Structure formats: C-alpha cells, structure tokens
Amino acid sequence: MATYEILIADDHPLFRSALHQAVTLGLGPDVRLVEVASIAELEARLTEKSDWDLVLLDLNMPGAYGFSGLVLLRGQYPQIPVVMVSAQEEADVVVRSKEFGASGFIPKSSAMEDIQKAVRTVLDGDVSWPPQAFEEINVSDEAKAARDGLASLTPQQFRVLTMVCEGLLNKQIAYELSVSEATIKAHMTAIFRKLGVGNRTQAVLALHSLDVEQIRMS
C-alpha cells in the first residue's frame, strides 16, 4: 500500500516526467504517482477515486481556462490539497492561486530540492508559497463572484460550460456527452442560476474571467 497517492496534471510530458522524478526521489518508493494531461483526464481519475493525498496542477492545460481547473477542484473535492505548478511565476498569478484555494505554488523554474520541499510541506498539512504570494495584489469582486459561482457547478455542468466556451451548440454538446438536448438545456438553466447570469455570453465571460490574461487586464 502506497504511503502517498498523488495526481500530476500537466500537458507537457517532459515536465510531468521531471515532477515524477523529483517527487519519487523526495518521498521514496512508497509513493504512487498518476499522470494526466488534461482536465477531462483529471476529472475521470477523481471520479474513480476521490481520496488522493495531493494534486499537482498545471495552470495552463487542455480544458482549463486559467484558474478554472483549480476552482473546479476546490469546489468538488475540497478535501484534496492542490498545489499549482506553472511557468508563469508573476505575483498576480501566485496571489490568485492562493486566493482561489490552492495550498501552494511551485514555479516550473524551481530546483528539484525546492519541489520536493514544497510537496512534503503540503503533504504534512501546511502550505508552501514563494515570496511573491504575499505581495499586495487586488482580486476583483467580479473574479471572486465568478470563482464562487463556478465552484458550485457539478463536474458535468462545468464540462457543459467549457464546451459552450468552445462554441458548441446544445445539440452538439448533447451528442458529445451522449445525453438528450433537454438534459443540456436543464444544465444550462442551472449554470445560469449558479453564476447569476442570464445568457450564454455572460456565462462564457464568467469562465473567461478566471483566465490569467483576462485577470491581468482587469
């Protein structure tokens, strides 16, 4: 039986491999690591098993709009600590990772020892933040409202909203998810209610408000 079970969510095979090596060397042979390359794969793993000890989550990966993956995880699986991993190390990104519920942040430029220390710290129940996490960065009320609304979506509603953002119509989404169009309409009604919006465009904007570039422009 593994001492720790950790999910590594990153779409870059080389960096996944580097993380895998760092964590294995840092924690020893008893750690079980599972790698995924998209938010869809991550959701599938979490559906199968929800008692992971840690998720190492890349900020930019397929199926994610900036911090949407983090918000989804914190909303649906609040018991699992999440550490953000990103090449974007600016203070606004790190501060928002903290604001949106992560337990730590690992810059991709980190030395192997620093990665190991951060992982060990969070597994021990603490948090691990680089110095820029404590800079004064204002997080807008709009971004906080979007975070709270998106955190309340079910995984299927989140999936539907992501597909709306990709420009798919209800009929196409129903086909992709193998459900009826009426089911998608019911999901959309629930999404509008939870996000406090009245149409698809506003719902898309809510999801995009968690995108890093949108946050920087606000």
Regarding whether 100 and 15 lie in a shared domain, the answer is yes
Regarding whether 92 and 173 lie in a shared domain, the answer is no
Collect all residues with Cβ–Cβ distance below 8 Å to 166 and sequence separation of at least 6: none
Confidence grade of residue 39 (pLDDT, cut at 50, 70, 90): confident
Domain count, the chain: 2
Strand pairing partners for 104?
Answer: 83, 128
Confidence grade of residue 217 (pLDDT, cut at 50, 70, 90): very low
Residue type, 30: D
Q: What is the pLDDT of residues 56-82, one digit of tens each?
A: 999 888 777 778 889 888 888 989 999
73, 57 Cβ separation under 8 angstroms: yes
Residue with tokens 């995009």: 208
Domain final residue pick, 105, 134, 163: 134
At residue 142, does pLDDT exceed 80? no
Residue 218's pLDDT is 43
The distance of Cα 32 from the centroid of its chain, to the nearest Å, equals 21
User: What are the CA-CA distances from residue 117 to residues 49, 128, 198 (Å)?
Assistant: 26, 9, 46
Domain final residue pick, 104, 134, 164: 134
Regarding whether 83 and 163 lie in a shared domain, the answer is no
Q: What is the CATH number of the domain that holds 162?
A: 1.10.10.10
Regarding whether 18 and 103 lie in a shared domain, the answer is yes
Which residues form the domain of 62?
A: 4-134
Confidence grade of residue 181 (pLDDT, cut at 50, 70, 90): very high
